[in-house]
Amino acid sequence: MADNCSGLQGFLLFHSFGGGTGSGFASLLMERLSVDYSKKCKLEFAVYPAPQVATAVVEPYNAVLTTHTTLEHTDCAFMVDNEALFDICRNAWTWSAHPTRT
């Protein structure tokens, strides 16, 4: 798909650091993009796990491994943590039911 673009500027990647597809596949994808499109910009938007809202005991380990892998393959990273996102939802939006942390 990228090869068909006439004016490709770069890539935006949205993923999580806590585990699963968001951390493992994103790391692999960023490595491949660095090899295949080394001169193109790669911007990363990542959700970092917070201990208060962790759903798996291995989230900190996944986050460390993903951070190590993606550090050398991104040009700029924008990071937010899970707890901050929950707080934004709870405080900024007026919903009748607040989001749950599951």
pLDDT digits (tens, 9 = 90+) for 37-49: 989 999 999 888 8
pTM assigned to the model:
0.74
Average pLDDT over residues 50-54: 76
pLDDT for residue 101: 61
Amino acid identity at 71: L
Token pair 């959700």 is found at 47
Q: Quick one: pLDDT band at residue 9, thresholds 50, 70, 90? A: very high
What integer pLDDT is reported at residue 20 of this predicted model?
76
Residues 45-71: what's their mean pLDDT? 82
CATH fold group of domain 10-92: Rossmann fold (3.40.50)
Using DSSP's 3-state secondary structure scheme, residue 13 falls into strand
- Give the number of residues written for the chain: 102
Minimum mean pLDDT range among 35-39, 55-59, 67-71: 55-59
What sections of the chain are H helices per DSSP? 21-36, 59-71, 82-92
What pLDDT sits at residue 96? 57
Q: What are phi and psi of 13, to 5 degrees?
A: -120, 125
Full strand arrangement of the beta sheet holding 76-81: 10-16, 41-48, 76-81
> Phi and psi dihedrals of 48, rounded to 5?
-95, 140
User: What pLDDT score was predicted for residue 65?
Assistant: 84
